[in-house]
Structure 1
Amino acid sequence: MSDYTKIVVGTDGSKSSMLAVQRAAAIAAAFDATLIVGCAYYESEEQASKTLRKDSVTVLGDDPAQRNLDAAAEAARGIGCSKVETAIKPGTPVEALMAIVNEHDADLLVVGNRGINSLTGRLLGSVPADVARQSQCDVMIVHTVS
């Protein structure tokens, strides 16, 4: 296995996603890798209402998304990760994370497990399951909720 040089982690500001940020930051610090913290947001209520996943947190607008990123970047630096970048993208969490992974040519994507074991997640898909299927890089699903 080669070292990871670019690690992407998604956050929506929730406690669960911040646990994934902490795990990704620890891995990035260990590999001296760049951590790219990403956050998706919806540009309108209409776009947000089209999301069928009831297990996800909806971030409406880029201001709340930027606040989530700032808090996550600060937490990552507190873990000891010195190379932290942020990326903000409109769209669904899966679309945004895949765009960030591809744009940064990431080696590893870290996400929390929220939604993966829910009924909705099993029927319609979940962010962790969907990114694992679509990603061209390694994916780590962190146990953040029971």
Structure 2
Amino acid sequence: MATYQTILVGTDGSASSFRAVAAAASLAAATGAGLVLACAYLPMRERDRSAAADVLGELSYKVSGSTPADDALRAAREHAVAAGARKIELAAEEGDAVDALVALAARYRADLLVVGNRGLNSLAGRLLGSVPSAVSHRAGCDVLIVHTTSGR
């Protein structure tokens, strides 16, 4: 088995993505690898930002820019620490999830990219392509797809 120095794991803040984070963190703890928690985000359109500001008032900053991704990363860090990871970096990247994960894996020189299996077994995933499937074809490093959903 390869020795991993840097493991990058994608999260979107969902419970299933936190299962992938925990698996990656456990592996990082066992091998002494660094762990990069990665989250992609898309910029909010101005019309949507204005609507959010009207509804949320002074809390509207919570849905603008990278703030939702940053919040997901902070929550993911808690899961990673609980699973034993010690060397943790956070990376929010603007763009499509697949593009962002592949770019971040290259930027951090990750040896292993970890994602959950959500989308692999869905009709939409089979027709449109899923993040785990696309990442496995495009990444320049090993990819671990963690079983995080029931597959139903």
Question: What are the within-5 Å matches in structure 2 for residues 125-136 of structure 1?
Answer: 125-136=129-140
1:98-139 deviations in Å (ceiling 9; x for gaps) = 111000110000000000111111111000000000011110
Q: Which runs of 5+ in 2 are unaligned?
A: 47-62
Residue 145 of structure 1 aligns to a residue whose secondary structure is coil
Q: 2:41 aligned with 1:41, yes or no?
A: yes
Q: 2:143 aligned with 1:124, yes or no?
A: no
Q: For residues 40 and 82 of structure 2, what CA distance do their matches in structure 1 show? A: 23
Q: For residues 70 and 12 of structure 2, what CA distance do their matches in structure 1 show? A: 10
Is the alpha carbon distance of 1:60 and 1:137 closer, same or farther for their aligned partners in structure 2, counting shifts above 3 Å? farther
Q: Any conservation in 2 of the 1:41–1:60 contact (CA below 8 Å)?
A: no
In angstroms, what is the RMSD of aligned CA positions? 1.6
- Larger CA Rg, structure 1 vs 2: 2
Q: Any conservation in 2 of the 1:36–1:86 contact (CA below 8 Å)?
A: yes
TM-score relative to the length of structure 1: 0.88
Where is the helix percentage greater, Structure 1 or Structure 2? 2
Deviation of 1:35 after TM superposition, in Å, equals: 0.3
Is the alpha carbon distance of 1:99 and 1:122 closer, same or farther for their aligned partners in structure 2, counting shifts above 3 Å? same
Deviation of 1:80 after TM superposition, in Å, equals: 1.1
Q: Which runs of 5+ in 1 are unaligned?
A: 47-58
How many residue pairs match? The answer is: 135
Question: What are the within-5 Å matches in structure 2 for residues 94-113 of structure 1?
Answer: 94-113=98-117
Residue 61 of structure 1 aligns to a residue whose secondary structure is coil
Q: For residues 122 and 19 of structure 2, what CA distance do their matches in structure 1 show? A: 19
Deviation of 1:34 after TM superposition, in Å, equals: 0.3
Counterpart amino acid of residue 25 in structure 1: A
Q: 2:74 aligned with 1:70, yes or no?
A: yes
Stretches of 4+ moved more than 3 A in 1? Answer: none
Q: 2:137 aligned with 1:144, yes or no?
A: no
Deviation of 1:45 after TM superposition, in Å, equals: 4.1
Q: For residues 2 and 109 of structure 1, what CA distance do their matches in structure 2 show? A: 13
Counterpart amino acid of residue 127 in structure 1: V
Deviation of 1:61 after TM superposition, in Å, equals: 3.3
Q: For residues 84 and 35 of structure 1, what CA distance do their matches in structure 2 show? A: 5
Q: Any conservation in 2 of the 1:6–1:34 contact (CA below 8 Å)?
A: yes
